[in-house]
Every structure is written in C-alpha cells, then in structure tokens.
Amino acid sequence: MPQKADERRSFLHIRALMATTGEGLIAIGPDGDVIVFNETAEELLGVPRSKTSGKPYTSLQQPKIEEAVEHLLRPRTRKTSHTMRVVIGERVVTATVAPYDFAGRRAAVITLRDDTVLEADRRRSEAILASTGDGLIVFDPDDVVTYINPAATMLAGLMPSAFLGKSTPLWEMLAMMPEDGFAPAIDGSQVREVRLEEPAHRIMDVRTDPVLDEQGGYLGYVATLHDVTAEREIGQMKNEFVSTVSHELRTPLTSIKGYIDLILDGEAGEINEIQREFLSIVKQNSDRLVELINDMLDISRIESGRIHLKIQPLDMSDLIAGAVDTFQAVSDQSGHKLVPKAPRDLPKVAGDRDRVGQVLVNFISNAIKYSPEGGSVTVKAKQDGDMVIVAITDQGIGIAKEDQAKLFTKFYRVDSSLTREIGGTGLGLSICKSIIELLGGKVGVKSTPGKGSTFWFSLPVASKDLVRTPEVEGPGAAGGTVLVVDRDPQVANLVQTYLAKQGYDVVKAHTAREALTKAIAVRPRVITLDVMLDDGDGFDLLQQLKDTPETTDIPVLVLSIVCDEGRSCRLGAADYLEKPIDKNRLITIVDDLVGSVTAPVVLVVDDDRNIVDLLCHNLKSNGFSVVAAYDGAEAMASLRKTHPDLILLDLQMPVMDGYQVIEKVKTNPATKDIPIVVMTAHQIDRSRIDILGLAQQKVDKPFSADDLARRVEALLEDMLVNS
C-alpha cells in the first residue's frame, strides 16, 4: 500500500527531525498517553523512552509538568499554554505545556529547554548587582519595576514585594513631590539630590539612565541610588567650621581696623611720620587679614548656597568709574595708568552691586599686582547681544597656557618667584567665577606670557522690567539720635565716632536691659544692635523692642558677626550689616533708615525660609519695610503688634494655614482693610475658594521676586489713589 508507505516515510522523517532538535519534545495524546518522546527529552528528564512511550504521562515523573498536563486535558478548562522552571538534578529546565488539536480532541505538547547556562549567568549578574553598594531599581518601558537590589531596599526602605511587577513612578517610590520628579528616562540621563527621612535620614544622588539595546531600542531605565549623606555632612561641617572661625576672628579685627583708621585720620591727635609709616603697615596687614577672612567666608557661603544676591539694574560705567577711583591712590603710587573705557549708551546689566564691584576690584587689583610699575591697565565694557562684557587688560607678566585653565579654581596660584613675593591666597578668582556664574554670566582669560593678560566677565543685560524698578535713593535726612547697642564698649565707641561725624547724637547701651530702658526713654530714630549681649540674647531684645508699643516703630539695624540675616528680618530688624563694619555702608543704611520710617510695611508669611529671605531682601531694596512670619500663628501674633500696609501670604503652612489667616484678618474690623496677596504653588482647596475671594490678588510660585515687588508697589499705589 503505497499510501501507508508514504505515511510511514513522513512519520520517520518527522521523528528524525524531532530527534535532532535541541529542545525536548513530548506529545501527550487525548487519552493521556505519551505518544512522542524525543532524545533530548530523554536526556533532559533523565528517563529512558522505554519507560514512557505509550505509557500514561505520569511516567514522566515530573509533578509540576504533570499537573499542568492534567489541567490542560481536563474538559472545559481554558486552553492556554503554561511555562515553568523545573530543576532536574544539576539542570535548570524551562518547560512549556501547550494545547494542540489531535483529530478534533484536545491533546498536549511539552517542550523542554535547557537553561542551565542562562540561569547561571542570570544568577551571576544578579549577584553582581546585589553586591554593589549603590541601590539599583530597574524599570521596563512601561515603568513597571522589574528589579530592586538589596542596597536599594536598604537605602530607600523599599519592600521589593510591594513594587516588583507593578508600575510605580520613581518619584513615588522615593516619596518625592511629583513636581520634583524625574522626566521619562528615555530623554537621557538625569541626576537629582533626594533627601529621605525614612527609614533613616539620608541624602542620595539619584541618577536615571535609559537602557538601550544594540539597535538603540528603548528597554526601560535604571535608577542608581548613591548615598552621599556623609560627604554632604562633612562638607557642611567644614563650611560651618570655616564660618565660625572666621566670625571669631572678625571680632578683634573690628576694633583693630577701626581704631587704626581713626588714628590715621588724626582723630587721636597729631602723629609723626614714623608713627604714620608704622601704623600704615599695621593697617595694610589688618586689611589683608580682613580680606582673607572675607574670602574664606565668601567661599563657605557660596559652597553652602547661603549667599544672598540683590539683583538690580546696574550701570556698568558707574561701577567701573567707582572701582577705578578706589585704585587711584594705589596706582598713583605704583605709576600704573588706569584707563576706563565704556560707551555712553551701554545698557544696564542685572547684577548685585556689591558683588559685581567686588569682582571688578579683584580683577583690577590683580592687573596692578601682576604687572610692572608704570604699565597701563584698561577696563573696557561693551555690549555683545544680550550680554555686557567687561575686560580688564594689563601689560604684565602674563600666564602660561597650562596655568590658564586652572586659574579659576580654589587656592590655585601660578608658581613663580614673583607670585611668591607678591603673596596672596589664590581664592579671589575662584570667588569671582562663582559670583559671576550665579549672576548668569561667564568669566575667562586670554594671556601671552611676558606680554600681558586680559581677564573678562560677562553679565546679562537687565530686562526692561528690571530697569523700570526705581532705585531707592537715601533721603539724606540725617540727624537725630541713634541708640548703639554693643556689649563691647570699644566697638560702640567706634560706631559712635562714625555716626557723630555725620551729625547724629549717639546714646550707647551695653546690655539688653540698659538698651530697652534707653530706647523707651530716648525714642531714638534708629537702633544699631549687636545680637551678642552678656545679659541675654540680642534676638530676644529685638523681639522685646518690637513687642513694646513705644519702640515697635523704631527701625533696628542688626550689626553682627553672627550671620543670621533671615532671623533678624523675621524678628523685625530693618536691615543687617556684618562686622567688621564698613563705615560708608553703615552711614548709608542709617541715613536710609532715618528716612524710611514712613516706608510701607509688608508682612511676609511663608513657611519656606528661603522664600522669606528672598522677599525680605528684595522688598527692602525696593524701599519697603518688611516683617516676616513662618506660619499663620506667627503672622497673627505680628498683626497684634504692627499694622502692615499689605500681607504677602502663602496658603499651605503648618500650625495655621493661609485660609485661616485670610478669614481672621478679613473678619476683624481692625485688620480687614489690609490687602492680602496670596502666593501659592499648590492646587487651590476648592471647598474654601470663597475665602480666597477675600484676598486681593494671587501669584503663582515660582515667581520673580522683582515682579512681586512691583505688584506690591502697584497695589499700594492703587489703594492710595482710591482712599
């Protein structure tokens, strides 16, 4: 029978094929008998064909596989294939049990694959991932978490079972706010600093990187959690140490510097030439010491992000002229020619007057320091698109190419006999670079050894809005009594001398009690206050002064070596000045304060201290008096003492939130007319929207502080017109 012969041939053919495939193949007929069992299956299961062929599938002796077959052959069950991993002796085998149709009846086919090597590889990779110190979380393209290593479990307190196989965004796993979260990693790598308080206080650099296959196809992404708590804390300790030591050094220096200046100014009577020469040397060296300490403080402030910048429109030509003036005496002596060159129509730049001045002075002083006597130093400014570039060119020693790249790093000094002789710290340029970059500009150098150097910096042109901001002019209404509070009589005398020369009568107090009594008795126009007092904390005194009706309106200028501008502002200080005291700034501020008693008062309420600091600073430089509060309850407390002209209010705050404050202010006849501007970054609570309607305006965070100051100004002007 030719047909039979054909069938047999093709059967043998299929069998031969099955025998040679690398996969184990077993077919189970509808009645549960093994009808096909190839050589690979024999080898993988370790059962000879004679023991299984034609026998029931239980002869396979693999309970997991048998269970799946049983399930599949059972009538009325769903026909789906089922894959499982079985360990047989040394081997790891992946078995798939799938249904197939056998002449209209349901039968099963089992394929077996030897994954021993693959499994060993997988285990090894997992062991490697598990043993890295960094936490790893792996996501598939649908953001489903596919792997969490033990370090991630430990660092972020993540229970793998709660996340594996589920789609959870990374920011949620790390308890971050969605707005601070990561963009999809498909866009490239990102790094964020994440602070966790649970399960323990930790600072982590979290990095996300897309995972791509060889063709660049997106396979998901991996997040790396790197614990930097110790590094950051050591960095902070270092900064605090530097700042404490520097402050301690400033106290004695304040007196040394101040009194030498007075003697040299002839305040202690005539001095002869030799005395003048010796004192000038003392002065030069104390100035150097002050400079060094200021540099160290600047560095620690920049590194810890505590530097305050007052951005305002600056006339670069004015600043250059001012800086050149400061060097006139020096250059007269050294025979350097200082040439300022700035076009008349130069636009204003956006910058911090003191800080940009500091950069100019640093560059000019270097140009003089590192060039021979009689050379010329040009200070040129020009506009380049939306930037203004300032270049300081000297005809000095120049700088070799290899040194140029390193100049702007901390403590770097070119090693030569001349630089050694001149002396310096190598901090100046690195501070300049940080300041300019914080202000949105760049710095650079071009130089030819032996010929000279050009140091340049750029700053953004001030926007039109910024230019419109009125600059506060001191009203110059000097005169009247100033109460100077300082536990150190020498420093108090020094401040007295400075102010007396400007026509102020000075009353001094050395203790908190004395200060309060005198303030009530004398009612000075301004109080200067050092917060370090023997009989109590100066901040308490400040609070008391603000709590006492007779003294609450007297502006207080905190004069301190303890840098705590934020706290001073919150307690109601009108301004803040650091020691050693800069005579001219002291006089400018006191003059301004004497004229500012009528300045409108703004109450700033926000639990974010950075925002409060920023607004205090900005509003003050726009001519407002500022009172600050960190939550609603504090705001209500200050409202009992002062009657601000306007309230800037955050909504989400601890203790008492913004809605409650609005309600309280608007229902009290004494305060209901004070306009409120609400600042919010969050969704508005719809159920309390009618309360919000009582506020005059709403601004969304993030906002520009300058913009806000202008809005406040406009609102107050409107009120004045309408009243």
**Which of the stretches 128-136, 315-323, 396-404, 604-612 binds ligand ADP when contact is defined by CB under 6 A?**
396-404
Structure tokens, 122 = 């997988």
Minimum Å gap between C-beta 367 and ligand ADP is: 5
Minimum Å gap between C-beta 451 and ligand ADP is: 11
Our CB check for ligand ADP shows the closer of 295 and 706 to be 295
Our CB check for ligand ADP shows the closer of 453 and 496 to be 453
Structure tokens, 37 = 């069992």
Q: Show contacts with ligand ADP in window 317-376 (CB under 6 A).
A: 362, 366-367, 370
Q: Show contacts with ligand ADP in window 34-73 (CB under 6 A).
A: none
419 forms part of the interface with ligand ADP (CB under 6 A): yes
Which residue from 258, 313, 396, 566 is in contact with ligand ADP, where contact means CB under 6 A?
A: 396
Whether residue 169 has a cis bond before it, omega within 30° of 0? no
Minimum Å gap between C-beta 174 and ligand ADP is: 40
Our CB check for ligand ADP shows the closer of 367 and 677 to be 367
Number of residues that bind ligand ADP (CB under 6 A): 20
Minimum Å gap between C-beta 428 and ligand ADP is: 3
293 forms part of the interface with ligand ADP (CB under 6 A): no
- In angstroms, rounded to a whole number, what is the distance separating the alpha carbons of residues 42 and 658? 77
Q: Show contacts with ligand ADP in window 438-457 (CB under 6 A).
A: 453
Our CB check for ligand ADP shows the closer of 396 and 600 to be 396
In single-letter form, the type of residue at position 152 comes to A
Which residue from 155, 176, 320, 399 is in contact with ligand ADP, where contact means CB under 6 A?
A: 399
Which residue from 258, 351, 428, 675 is in contact with ligand ADP, where contact means CB under 6 A?
A: 428
Alpha carbon distance, N-terminus to C-terminus of the chain? 117
- In angstroms, rounded to a whole number, what is the distance separating the alpha carbons of residues 579 and 598? 28
Chain residue whose CB lies nearest ligand ADP:
424
Our CB check for ligand ADP shows the closer of 135 and 396 to be 396
Buried b (16+ CB within 10 A) or exposed e, 87-126: ebeebbbbbbbebeebeeebbbbbbbbbebeebeeeeeee
Which residue from 397, 461, 492, 601 is in contact with ligand ADP, where contact means CB under 6 A?
A: 397
Minimum Å gap between C-beta 416 and ligand ADP is: 7
Our CB check for ligand ADP shows the closer of 425 and 652 to be 425
424 forms part of the interface with ligand ADP (CB under 6 A): yes
433 forms part of the interface with ligand ADP (CB under 6 A): no
Minimum Å gap between C-beta 400 and ligand ADP is: 10
- In angstroms, rounded to a whole number, what is the distance separating the alpha carbons of residues 578 and 571? 17
Which residue from 426, 440, 480, 623 is in contact with ligand ADP, where contact means CB under 6 A?
A: 426
Our CB check for ligand ADP shows the closer of 418 and 720 to be 418
Our CB check for ligand ADP shows the closer of 419 and 671 to be 419
Our CB check for ligand ADP shows the closer of 257 and 369 to be 369
394 forms part of the interface with ligand ADP (CB under 6 A): yes
SS3 344: coil
| Nearby residues of 543 by Cβ (< 8 Å), 6 or more positions away | 571, 572
Our CB check for ligand ADP shows the closer of 34 and 397 to be 397
How far, in Å, are 14, 355, 577 from residue 590 at the CA level? 103, 21, 11
Buried b (16+ CB within 10 A) or exposed e, 343-364: eeebebbbbbbebbbbbbbbbb
Our CB check for ligand ADP shows the closer of 370 and 624 to be 370
How far, in Å, are 311, 605, 628 from residue 568 at the CA level? 21, 15, 9
Residue with the two structure tokens 């500091």: 358
Our CB check for ligand ADP shows the closer of 298 and 486 to be 298
Our CB check for ligand ADP shows the closer of 139 and 363 to be 363
Phi first, then psi, for residue 139 (nearest 5°) are -115, 145
429 forms part of the interface with ligand ADP (CB under 6 A): yes
414 forms part of the interface with ligand ADP (CB under 6 A): yes
Which residue from 170, 407, 492, 612 is in contact with ligand ADP, where contact means CB under 6 A?
A: 407
| Nearby residues of 612 by Cβ (< 8 Å), 6 or more positions away | 566, 569, 570, 604, 606, 628, 630
393 forms part of the interface with ligand ADP (CB under 6 A): no
- In angstroms, rounded to a whole number, what is the distance separating the alpha carbons of residues 188 and 194? 19
Residue with the two structure tokens 């996300």: 208
- In angstroms, rounded to a whole number, what is the distance separating the alpha carbons of residues 221 and 699? 37
Positive or negative: CA dihedral 627, 633, 639, 640 = negative
How many residues are given for the chain? 723
**Which of the stretches 40-48, 186-194, 424-432, 676-684 binds ligand ADP when contact is defined by CB under 6 A?**
424-432
User: Any alpha helices (H) in 469-582, and if so which ranges?
Assistant: 489-501, 512-522, 538-547, 565-570
- Strand ranges (E), 7-71: 24-28, 34-37
**Under the rule (CB under 6 A), what is the footprint of ligand ADP?**
362, 366-367, 370, 394, 396-397, 399, 407, 412-414, 419, 424-429, 453
